[in-house]
Amino acid sequence: MKKIFPDAKAALEGLTFDGMTVMSGGFGLCGIPENLIMALRDTGVKDITVISNNAGVDDFGLGFLLQTRQIKKMISSYVGENKEFERQFLAGELELEFNPQGTLAERCRAGGAGIPGFYTKTGVGTVIAEGKEHKDFNGETYILETGLAADLSIVKAWKADEQGNLIFRKTARNFNPMMATAGKITVVEVEEIVPLGSMDPDCIHTPGIFVQRIIKGEHEKRIEQRTIRERETA
Protein backbone atom coordinates (compact mmCIF):
# COMPACT_ATOMS: atom_id res chain seq x y z
CA MET A 1 0.00 0.00 0.00
CA LYS A 2 1.30 3.44 -0.95
CA LYS A 3 0.99 5.52 2.20
CA ILE A 4 2.87 8.73 1.33
CA PHE A 5 0.71 11.58 0.01
CA PRO A 6 1.93 14.88 -1.46
CA ASP A 7 0.15 17.19 0.97
CA ALA A 8 -2.48 17.42 3.71
CA LYS A 9 -5.34 18.10 1.30
CA ALA A 10 -4.61 14.97 -0.69
CA ALA A 11 -4.18 12.90 2.48
CA LEU A 12 -7.69 13.77 3.69
CA GLU A 13 -9.40 13.26 0.35
CA GLY A 14 -12.37 10.92 0.64
CA LEU A 15 -12.12 10.60 4.43
CA THR A 16 -14.30 13.43 5.75
CA PHE A 17 -18.06 13.64 6.23
CA ASP A 18 -20.45 15.75 8.28
CA GLY A 19 -20.97 14.49 11.82
CA MET A 20 -17.71 12.55 11.94
CA THR A 21 -15.54 12.01 15.02
CA VAL A 22 -11.92 13.14 14.83
CA MET A 23 -9.06 12.49 17.26
CA SER A 24 -6.42 15.20 17.14
CA GLY A 25 -3.08 14.61 18.87
CA GLY A 26 -0.90 17.01 20.79
CA PHE A 27 -0.66 18.78 24.11
CA GLY A 28 -1.24 22.50 24.09
CA LEU A 29 0.46 23.48 20.83
CA CYS A 30 3.17 20.83 21.15
CA GLY A 31 2.86 17.92 18.75
CA ILE A 32 -0.35 19.08 17.09
CA PRO A 33 -1.03 18.09 13.44
CA GLU A 34 -1.23 21.71 12.34
CA ASN A 35 -1.18 21.06 8.58
CA LEU A 36 -3.91 18.43 8.79
CA ILE A 37 -6.05 20.68 10.98
CA MET A 38 -5.89 23.40 8.33
CA ALA A 39 -6.71 20.89 5.60
CA LEU A 40 -9.65 19.62 7.65
CA ARG A 41 -10.90 23.19 7.94
CA ASP A 42 -10.64 23.64 4.19
CA THR A 43 -12.83 20.58 3.50
CA GLY A 44 -15.78 22.45 5.01
CA VAL A 45 -16.88 19.37 6.95
CA LYS A 46 -19.45 20.25 9.65
CA ASP A 47 -20.76 19.05 13.01
CA ILE A 48 -17.48 17.39 13.98
CA THR A 49 -16.90 15.79 17.37
CA VAL A 50 -13.25 16.41 18.22
CA ILE A 51 -11.40 14.31 20.80
CA SER A 52 -8.34 16.28 21.85
CA ASN A 53 -6.57 17.11 25.08
CA ASN A 54 -7.19 20.80 24.44
CA ALA A 55 -8.78 23.18 21.95
CA GLY A 56 -5.73 25.02 20.67
CA VAL A 57 -5.65 28.82 20.86
CA ASP A 58 -7.79 31.37 19.09
CA ASP A 59 -5.54 31.75 16.06
CA PHE A 60 -3.81 28.38 15.82
CA GLY A 61 -4.52 24.67 15.86
CA LEU A 62 -8.09 23.60 16.58
CA GLY A 63 -8.92 27.26 17.17
CA PHE A 64 -9.29 27.57 13.40
CA LEU A 65 -12.07 24.94 13.39
CA LEU A 66 -13.82 26.80 16.20
CA GLN A 67 -13.65 30.04 14.23
CA THR A 68 -15.43 28.41 11.31
CA ARG A 69 -18.01 26.70 13.58
CA GLN A 70 -17.14 23.26 12.23
CA ILE A 71 -16.88 21.67 15.69
CA LYS A 72 -20.14 20.57 17.31
CA LYS A 73 -18.67 18.84 20.37
CA MET A 74 -15.31 18.68 22.16
CA ILE A 75 -14.16 15.76 24.31
CA SER A 76 -11.23 17.30 26.17
CA SER A 77 -9.42 17.77 29.45
CA TYR A 78 -8.23 21.39 29.14
CA VAL A 79 -9.68 24.29 27.16
CA GLY A 80 -8.46 27.36 29.02
CA GLU A 81 -6.38 28.97 26.27
CA ASN A 82 -9.18 29.61 23.80
CA LYS A 83 -11.56 32.54 24.28
CA GLU A 84 -13.69 31.63 21.25
CA PHE A 85 -14.19 28.19 22.79
CA GLU A 86 -15.29 29.86 26.02
CA ARG A 87 -17.70 32.16 24.18
CA GLN A 88 -19.32 29.34 22.20
CA PHE A 89 -19.63 27.07 25.23
CA LEU A 90 -21.16 29.72 27.49
CA ALA A 91 -23.57 30.68 24.70
CA GLY A 92 -24.72 27.06 24.36
CA GLU A 93 -23.31 26.79 20.83
CA LEU A 94 -20.76 24.07 21.62
CA GLU A 95 -21.07 20.79 23.52
CA LEU A 96 -18.30 19.81 25.93
CA GLU A 97 -17.48 16.51 27.59
CA PHE A 98 -14.80 17.15 30.21
CA ASN A 99 -12.39 14.40 31.27
CA PRO A 100 -9.58 14.23 33.79
CA GLN A 101 -6.42 14.25 31.69
CA GLY A 102 -5.24 10.77 32.62
CA THR A 103 -8.73 9.39 32.07
CA LEU A 104 -8.86 10.91 28.60
CA ALA A 105 -5.50 9.37 27.71
CA GLU A 106 -6.61 5.97 28.97
CA ARG A 107 -9.94 6.21 27.13
CA CYS A 108 -8.02 6.74 23.88
CA ARG A 109 -5.60 3.92 24.67
CA ALA A 110 -8.48 1.60 25.55
CA GLY A 111 -10.29 2.43 22.32
CA GLY A 112 -7.19 1.59 20.30
CA ALA A 113 -6.76 -1.68 22.20
CA GLY A 114 -10.37 -2.75 21.66
CA ILE A 115 -11.26 -2.34 25.35
CA PRO A 116 -14.85 -1.05 25.66
CA GLY A 117 -14.55 0.22 29.23
CA PHE A 118 -12.46 0.33 32.40
CA TYR A 119 -12.82 1.33 36.04
CA THR A 120 -10.90 4.21 37.62
CA LYS A 121 -10.92 6.02 40.97
CA THR A 122 -10.34 9.37 39.31
CA GLY A 123 -13.46 11.50 39.52
CA VAL A 124 -15.25 9.51 42.23
CA GLY A 125 -17.35 11.87 44.35
CA THR A 126 -17.25 14.67 41.75
CA VAL A 127 -19.49 15.79 38.89
CA ILE A 128 -17.35 13.58 36.63
CA ALA A 129 -18.94 10.53 38.27
CA GLU A 130 -22.56 11.64 37.80
CA GLY A 131 -24.57 9.12 35.78
CA LYS A 132 -21.71 6.61 35.59
CA GLU A 133 -21.68 3.08 36.95
CA HIS A 134 -19.95 2.72 40.34
CA LYS A 135 -18.32 -0.49 41.51
CA ASP A 136 -16.33 -1.44 44.59
CA PHE A 137 -13.02 -3.30 44.41
CA ASN A 138 -11.23 -4.24 47.63
CA GLY A 139 -13.22 -1.69 49.58
CA GLU A 140 -12.55 1.19 47.16
CA THR A 141 -15.09 2.78 44.83
CA TYR A 142 -14.41 3.15 41.12
CA ILE A 143 -16.37 4.55 38.18
CA LEU A 144 -16.78 3.05 34.73
CA GLU A 145 -15.26 4.98 31.83
CA THR A 146 -15.68 3.96 28.19
CA GLY A 147 -13.00 3.59 25.54
CA LEU A 148 -12.91 6.14 22.73
CA ALA A 149 -12.48 5.57 19.01
CA ALA A 150 -12.73 7.88 16.02
CA ASP A 151 -13.60 7.86 12.34
CA LEU A 152 -10.32 9.68 11.72
CA SER A 153 -7.18 10.23 13.79
CA ILE A 154 -4.82 13.03 12.79
CA VAL A 155 -1.48 12.94 14.58
CA LYS A 156 1.97 14.51 14.44
CA ALA A 157 5.20 12.50 14.61
CA TRP A 158 8.87 13.33 14.21
CA LYS A 159 9.88 10.61 11.76
CA ALA A 160 8.15 8.00 9.64
CA ASP A 161 9.34 5.46 7.13
CA GLU A 162 7.44 4.54 3.97
CA GLN A 163 5.35 1.97 5.85
CA GLY A 164 4.24 4.42 8.54
CA ASN A 165 6.38 3.23 11.44
CA LEU A 166 6.59 6.29 13.70
CA ILE A 167 8.99 7.91 16.13
CA PHE A 168 7.80 10.79 18.31
CA ARG A 169 10.13 13.35 19.82
CA LYS A 170 10.14 14.28 23.51
CA THR A 171 6.97 16.05 24.71
CA ALA A 172 5.21 15.47 21.39
CA ARG A 173 4.96 11.85 22.51
CA ASN A 174 1.86 12.61 24.55
CA PHE A 175 -1.58 11.85 23.13
CA ASN A 176 -0.32 11.07 19.64
CA PRO A 177 0.70 7.39 20.03
CA MET A 178 -2.56 6.21 21.59
CA MET A 179 -4.69 8.28 19.20
CA ALA A 180 -2.84 6.76 16.27
CA THR A 181 -4.19 3.36 17.31
CA ALA A 182 -7.77 4.48 17.92
CA GLY A 183 -8.82 5.81 14.53
CA LYS A 184 -10.52 3.78 11.82
CA ILE A 185 -8.19 5.73 9.54
CA THR A 186 -5.01 7.38 10.84
CA VAL A 187 -3.30 10.17 8.92
CA VAL A 188 0.10 11.34 10.16
CA GLU A 189 2.15 14.42 9.42
CA VAL A 190 5.87 14.20 10.10
CA GLU A 191 8.98 16.31 9.91
CA GLU A 192 10.99 13.68 8.07
CA ILE A 193 10.29 10.57 6.00
CA VAL A 194 13.19 8.13 6.05
CA PRO A 195 13.90 4.94 4.05
CA LEU A 196 12.40 1.68 5.22
CA GLY A 197 14.82 -0.12 7.52
CA SER A 198 16.72 3.00 8.58
CA MET A 199 15.00 3.28 11.97
CA ASP A 200 16.06 1.11 14.90
CA PRO A 201 13.08 -1.21 15.53
CA ASP A 202 13.59 -0.77 19.29
CA CYS A 203 13.01 2.98 18.90
CA ILE A 204 9.71 2.78 17.00
CA HIS A 205 6.83 4.07 19.11
CA THR A 206 3.90 3.29 16.77
CA PRO A 207 3.99 0.39 14.29
CA GLY A 208 3.01 1.18 10.71
CA ILE A 209 0.04 -1.20 10.85
CA PHE A 210 -1.90 1.59 12.54
CA VAL A 211 -1.07 4.22 9.90
CA GLN A 212 -2.83 4.54 6.54
CA ARG A 213 -1.57 7.88 5.17
CA ILE A 214 1.52 10.05 5.70
CA ILE A 215 2.56 13.56 4.69
CA LYS A 216 5.70 15.56 5.26
CA GLY A 217 4.73 18.97 6.63
CA GLU A 218 6.21 22.36 7.36
CA HIS A 219 5.73 23.20 11.03
CA GLU A 220 5.62 26.51 12.87
CA LYS A 221 6.15 24.99 16.33
CA ARG A 222 4.60 27.96 18.06
CA ILE A 223 5.13 28.48 21.80
CA GLU A 224 1.80 28.58 23.62
CA GLN A 225 2.90 30.56 26.67
CA ARG A 226 6.17 32.47 26.59
CA THR A 227 7.44 33.67 29.96
CA ILE A 228 10.72 35.55 30.13
CA ARG A 229 12.68 37.25 32.86
CA GLU A 230 13.46 40.92 32.62
CA ARG A 231 17.09 41.61 31.86
CA GLU A 232 19.06 42.52 34.94
CA THR A 233 21.11 45.70 34.86
CA ALA A 234 24.10 46.51 36.98
**Which amino acid, one-letter code, is at 181?**
T
Beta-strand runs (E) in the chain: 21-24, 48-51, 71-76, 95-98, 117-120, 134-137, 140-146, 150-161, 166-167, 183-194, 213-216
CA torsion, ordered 189, 195, 200, 202, to nearest 10 deg: 50
Give the strand order in the sheet containing 134-137.
Answer: 117-120, 140-146, 134-137
pLDDT tens series, the chain, 234 aa: 799 999 999 999 999 999 999 999 998 888 999 999 999 999 999 999 999 998 888 888 899 999 999 999 999 998 877 889 999 999 999 999 999 999 999 999 999 999 999 999 999 999 999 999 999 999 999 999 999 999 999 999 999 999 999 999 988 888 999 999 999 999 999 999 999 999 999 999 999 999 999 999 888 776 767 778 887 776
Structural domains of the chain, with CATH: 8-116+147-216 (3.40.1080.10)
